[in-house]
Amino acid sequence: MKSSNKKDNNKDFESVIREAEKIIQQIIHSGVAEETIVEQIRRFRSGFPSTPLLRPCTPGDGITVIDVQQQSALLKSYKQAVNEGRITKFVPASGAATRMFKSLLAVYNSDKDELPDLSGNDENTLFCRKFIASLPKFAFYGELKKLMADNGADLENACRDMDFRTILHYVLSPEGMDFGSLPKGLIPFHSYDEYSRTPFAEHIAEAVEYAQDTENKARMHFTVAPQHRERIEKHVAESIKRYPEIEFHITYSEQRKQTNTIAVDLNGEGFRTDDGKLLFRPAGHGALLINLNELEGDIIFLKNIDNVVPDHLKADTFKYKKLLGGLLVRLQNETFGYVRQLKESNVSREGLAKIEKFTTDKLAIPLPDNYDSMTTEQKQVCLLSKLHRPIRVCGMVENTGEPGGGPFWVADYEGIPAKQIVEKSQVDLDDPGQAECMKKTTHFNPVDIICGLRDFEGKPFNLLERIDRDTGFISVKSKDGKNLKAMELPGLWNGSMADWITIFVEVPLSTFSPVKTVNDLLKAEHQPSMRPAESLKMVSETSSNQR
């Protein structure tokens, strides 16, 4: 009897050892350090503190409005910087187009054995009807029509016969255009006379206008998903052929495996998939801070892949990119001068007063309550800590109800007011005062950010030292039909840049034209410029169809 129990115990022990070895191998393969996983699980159990909002930033109180008299000087400063080759465009472009086609995918996958019923009035059905009815207005219409013809199908007949299954098949599936799994940057967005442009191609067109130096060099960096990298590189290589006079320096990077976060179950234990493995998930755009840091760039223009418009609407984008860049350069020049003084010599009382005024008035950085009681040496140390940091100039548009973060005054870790971009997920909305403050925001973050990543000696800052690690967030997701908790790292333009000098600038709404769903491409800002006759013809055809 004892011998039997001993054998059973040995089997149990061996089973535990095998399971432990599997877990160790999974952790090693994940690329996430063991101590990082332990810290993430601790965070799941303790949670992240909410960000205490003081008030929204508004024009004159945290948001700068560039007046006409300043523009000439700012454009001149920018021109000098771009001529010197200091500018690089940085475009996060790893996102899949799945969300763009979410409603179409829902209809397409509803019942493979039957034609979709598009007679209903639910959200997905209405979305799909609009998409089908508007097909000729999409930049990919010609390509779709040819692809179907090459495979013995006729797009116009499919529309007339209400054969929506065939249309959606050629739009979404790998046998067709595969839009259901492509990265968003490879979807044709805009039509031109004889070709169409994807977001990658539109960002290249932008770079030609405002990122080209005196040697005709333009620098760009895209972050991409590894499974799509080869296809993206080929597409970009084809797109730049339209600009033979430009020498493009284009680099790519991928989100690092070590930035993934472990998922846990609702009890805070490591989540297991159906095959018993631990689950590691991408940790949001904050994970790209490593990519930005490794770039070691000088002046970086950060902008999302889907925020692009056709050429005839780019004027405001070009103008304000240059103005924001010029403002960054001028602030850098002044900041660098004061940092040199603070580092290299004892600054006079008058000199300190000048630096204090620049810090509080021009940069809108409040000083500690006990600043006046500090010694001269302590004041220099304090001012140096405020000025010797990366700088970001962030365009802010009027809030029209778009989901996302906004500019706020918050209390930093010392209780001192600071300007930050805050997401709704960071705020305690159960607190009536905080919820009301969130509602009062007048401006929205379109992710139109110019970053100064080098110090007064031209050396790159270590951006990883300036993260507010308390600004991540936890959400409930599902996998294999089971709920789990997922963690996102501090956002790239939120907590990851919390310890930067931050300048908010009002920019026109015309500089913000994101595409979140495929039907957003039907908005006027994504349609080609039409001559009056063409416009009248379209109105006439629309009226006839409605009759």
Q: pLDDT class for 13, splitting at 50, 70, 90?
A: low
pLDDT digits (tens, 9 = 90+) for 327-357: 999 999 999 999 999 998 889 999 999 999 9
Confidence band of 21 (pLDDT split at 50, 70, 90):
low
pTM score, whole prediction: 0.89
SS3 231: helix
Q: Is pLDDT at 183 greater than 80 in this prediction?
A: yes
* 55-77 residues labelled b (16+ CB within 10 A) or e (exposed): ebbbeeebbbebeeeeeeebeeb
Residue type, 337: G
Cα-flanking dihedrals φ and ψ of residue 59, to 5°?
-55, 125
pLDDT recorded at residue 533: 38
CA 532 – CA 141 distance, rounded (Å):
22
Torsion, Cα 318 324 325 331, to 10 degrees, reads 160
Q: Which two tokens stand for residue 340?
A: 């040199």
Query: Coil, helix or strand for 291?
Result: helix
Helix, strand, or coil here: 57? coil
Q: How confident is the model at residue 25 (pLDDT cuts 50, 70, 90)?
A: confident
Region of residue 345 (phi > 0: left; psi between -120 and 50: alpha; otherwise: beta): beta
Q: What is the pLDDT of residues 120-160, one digit of tens each?
A: 678 998 999 999 999 999 999 999 999 999 999 999 999 88
User: pLDDT per residue over 223-252, tens digit each?
Assistant: 999 999 999 999 999 999 999 999 999 999
Q: What is the pLDDT of residue 4?
A: 54
Q: Are 91 and 203 in contact (CB under 8 A)?
A: yes
The Cα 361–Cα 339 span in angstroms is 17
